A and B are shown apart, each in its own frame.
Chain A
């Protein structure tokens, strides 16, 4: 019996050796594979336990934070309304957008400035706490922008032209990120497309606001004396396109500054066409052969060059994805297209952020500030990952003397011409309106305003667009005034 007992022992113990091997197989070798499967409820459990970091505005006001649930989990809340264009959303079902997407790794705690933080959390079995993200935006300025848009399709960008810090980034209509899961389908079906961030994610015909770029090119290339008066009454015909002077019908003789302030399409069509010539010929009485006939390629190159300096047609590096837009479509330049582009029509399309940077470059002595949204990412232990004090530049768009002239022109526009509704008592304001025609035929124009204040020492630059609303003067300009006023009240350095 001893032998059979020994054999029995051998069989039973072999069984346990197999068990030990199988344990090693599942607990060690197959670990990653089994845990990565959708059948593992721990992934969702751990995610639910993570206390996502806060998103704060420049004053420390909480824009997004997690509040505990009764069952030990927690959920994301957005205490300040109207911040969705900046903050974005965080949804278990539909992913992330905006800052929530850009800094998801930090917010969710998978990355941290303190490399030992996660290890400590794991060792002490503490739920992971994500890093906090502090933004450049000011909830109060954002509020003013939202109020000005009043929920109708449009966008506002407010930034500090010297640092590039974005103070407000509003898009209307918007959504409530805390209720995203319930409203998702309705938001997708909504024809006004509330999920699109119009401030950076939509390209618009810039209309007359683009005259800033055309003017900048002419001034920077010293093709025009801004104070030389010329007679500007007769419409001109370029191919089948007729461009007239109806915007300043009361003024027959203007100089370049006045033509800008009164937004003369004829002047800027000619400016664009003649950028490749040694001297702009803007006065009435032009006859064939026209000065641009041999210079079309050179003129187009120069306009393209100046547009490129503002990244028009290219995405701007930014925390939230920016549309590139375009200066023109795929076709080659032809005279009437170049002429139209000169006053912001034609095939050109650009985002409100791009146009805010054009105004900011004027306010910043010709340097295009690099826009940014995030000042700091701070881990729970206080380690700081990203620290942006601003002041970066995307490039130099034009010389300081050009900036000075453009500033003069924009102040003139606010003081005397179409941008008058932007005027603020005791503050010099520079601005340019735009009423951009953008199909369908018969629809109202996009109402644009770009500008900055105070003009003698600019602190805030702004771009406002209100879709299919009417003239820039009547809608975007007074809206910009109220936002600028609020920004100057609260944004002090």
Chain B
């Protein structure tokens, strides 16, 4: 076996990535041109600047990866860029005043992604500060109790704001918790896989070892639930279960987790009227189509209005859907680009998840594998939570649609997430894979 990290990082052209990166730039250019023409204007300087900004950000990222992480996955960046480009098109369509801002955030996100790749000495370095990450994340979220604001009238004070820039700490919390969970679970992986406590016919995991993990989880969940950020809570719990399962390989944790979830959910159903309303709205949104069911009903109506190929950009009425440029972005895509567009979105997430888990499978060590699996789970579960909610498959809880929704902290967190994923995949391989 080769010494870990001994494989040289030799610059190498990443042709596949370069070719694939043409697509998001083309998508953005055609999208913005279509919108301008449909509004009866010629595409102006602003549109050209936005396209140029994305092209530059992607090309620089590509060059940087070729130089510093030549073996990193070549499909992840283009896939994420496709979603980001579609997001920029839709934001330009839905909230023209925010288009420049969203482009700026994609730029900042790219910088953060490259920053992550550059600053990070190695993925393994992250595990040293596992508790720092967890506490930092929880403190950030806790701070919203004191400094939290509600800039867009969503009814929950989930944002921190400085000088007109808003930031949602729970977006960063999920990335920090992935690192913490990965580090912790990796330490106790063997123990978790064993079952040394027996109760009757059941073999139970070594609960005491799990205490710090559960404590962190409980803290994060507790705070989030207190803030009524149910979507984030659902996401964190799902993330925890999936990482626990990956680390231990034992389905009993998942089953136990689901039982716990059922108990917790029924408790919440009794304690919080908001949960009860969400469930009732889910069962029959049309009964309260003017009040609590309004968003869901309008979302479904927008999707139906789009049909197979959509009304065409700017020719639908997606703005009847509340939060259509954030949580309900899929409704706008569905209305104006149709089922064709929404299925492409689904396909992009599938590709991203497939490549993310492939990174986990090929990771140099189990910590890297857990980080990659966790980050991929975050994207997958978050997309499923909000898409499932929008489509009336599960009760609606608000989270952003990863990489598609408008919003600075969401874009930033997701680009950092992509950066970490690329970092894991770019680590020199074990000898067997490196050949």
A, B from the same assembly = yes
Residues of A within 8 A of B (CB): 1-9, 11-13, 15-16, 18-20, 22-28, 30-31, 34-35, 37, 39-42, 45, 125
Q: Are the C-beta atoms of B346 and A16 separated by less than 8 Å? A: yes
Q: Which of A3, A6, A13, A15 has the most CB of B within 10 A?
A: A15
A27 to B360, CA, bound (A): 35
Of the candidates B317, B339, B360, B366, the one whose C-beta lies within 8 Å of that of A23 is B339
Which among B304, B305, B307, B339 has the greatest number of chain A C-beta atoms within 10 A? Answer: B304
Determine if A15 and B339 form an interchain contact, defined as CB atoms under 8 angstroms apart: no
| Cα distance, A42 to B319, chains bound together (Å) | 11
On whether the beta carbons of B249 and A4 are closer than 8 Å, the reply is yes
Bitwise, B338-352 to A at CB < 8 A (1) or not (0) is 110011001001100
Max chain A Cβ within 10 angstroms of own Cβ: one of B350, B377, B392: B350
Q: How far is the CB of A18 from chain B (nearest CB, A)?
A: 6
B residues less than 8 Å from A3 (CB atoms): 249
Q: Is B300 part of the contact surface with A, judged by Cβ < 8 Å?
A: yes
A41's nearest neighbour on chain B, judged by CB, is B320
A8 and B246 form a contact (CB under 8 A): yes
Instruction: Give the size category of B's interface with A.
Output: 35 or more
Indicate which residue in B289, B334, B392 contacts A39 across the interface (CB closer than 8 Å). Answer: B289
How many residue-residue contacts, CB under 8 A, span A and B?
124
Docked-complex contact A125 and B312, CB < 8 angstroms: yes
Residue numbers of B with Cβ under 8 A of A are 38, 242, 245-249, 286, 289, 297-298, 300-301, 303-308, 311-312, 315-317, 320, 334, 338-339, 342-343, 346, 349-350, 353-354, 357, 360-361, 366, 369, 373, 376-377, 380-381, 383-384, 387-388, 391-393
Smallest beta-carbon distance A15→chain B, Å: 4
Q: Is A26's CB under 8 angstroms from B391's CB?
A: yes
A10 to chain B, nearest CB (A): 10
Contacts of A25 in B (CB 8 A): 391
Give chain A residues whose Cβ lies under 8 Å from the Cβ of B312: 125
CA distance A18 to B384 in the complex (A): 9
The minimal Cβ–Cβ distance linking B269 to chain A, given in whole angstroms, is 23
Residues of chain A with a CB closer than 8 A to B380's CB = 12, 15-16
Instruction: Tell me the nearest residue of chain B to A14, going by C-beta.
Output: B384
Contact B249 A19 (CB under 8 A): no
Chain A residues positioned under 8 Å from B376 (CB to CB): 12
Report Cα–Cα, A265/B311, bound state, in Å.
72
Which of the residues B297, B307, B388 comes within 8 Å of A27, measured between beta carbons?
A: B307
| With A4-B249, A23-B343 as contacts: A39 and B304 at CB distance below 8 Å | no
Question: Given the complex of chains A and B, what is the CA–CA distance between A1 and B193 in angstroms?
Answer: 11
* Beta-carbon contact of B301 and A45 below 8 Å: no
In the bound complex, CA of A171 to CA of B242 (Å): 78
Residue of chain B at shortest CB distance from A25: B391
Q: How far is the CB of A25 from chain B (nearest CB, A)?
A: 8
Q: How far is the CB of A38 from chain B (nearest CB, A)?
A: 8
Contact A5 B361 (CB under 8 A): yes
**What is the bound-complex CA distance between A96 and B305, given in angstroms?**
27
New contact pairs (6) apart from A1-B246, A13-B353, CB-CB < 8 Å: A4-B247, A15-B384, A19-B391, A24-B339, A42-B317, A125-B311
Determine the chain B residues whose CB is within 8 A of the CB of A2 once the complex forms: 361
A14 to chain B, nearest CB (A): 10
Residues on A with C-beta less than 8 A from B311 are: 125
Sampled A-B contacts (30; CB under 8 Å): A4-B245, A4-B249, A5-B246, A5-B357, A5-B361, A8-B357, A9-B353, A9-B354, A9-B357, A11-B242, A12-B377, A13-B353, A19-B387, A22-B388, A23-B334, A23-B339, A23-B343, A23-B346, A26-B304, A26-B391, A27-B303, A27-B307, A31-B307, A39-B286, A41-B298, A41-B301, A42-B316, A45-B317, A125-B38, A125-B311
Residue of B nearest to A13 (CB): B350
CA gap between A25 and B33 in the complex, in Å: 31
Complexed CA–CA distance, A5 and B245 (Å): 9
Q: Which of these, A8, A20, A24, contacts B373 with CB under 8 Å?
A: A8
CB <8 Å contact, B393 and A18: yes
Given contacts A8-B246, A16-B350, A39-B298, contact A23 B304 (CB under 8 A): no
**From residue B424, how far is it (CB to closest CB) to chain A in Å?**
13
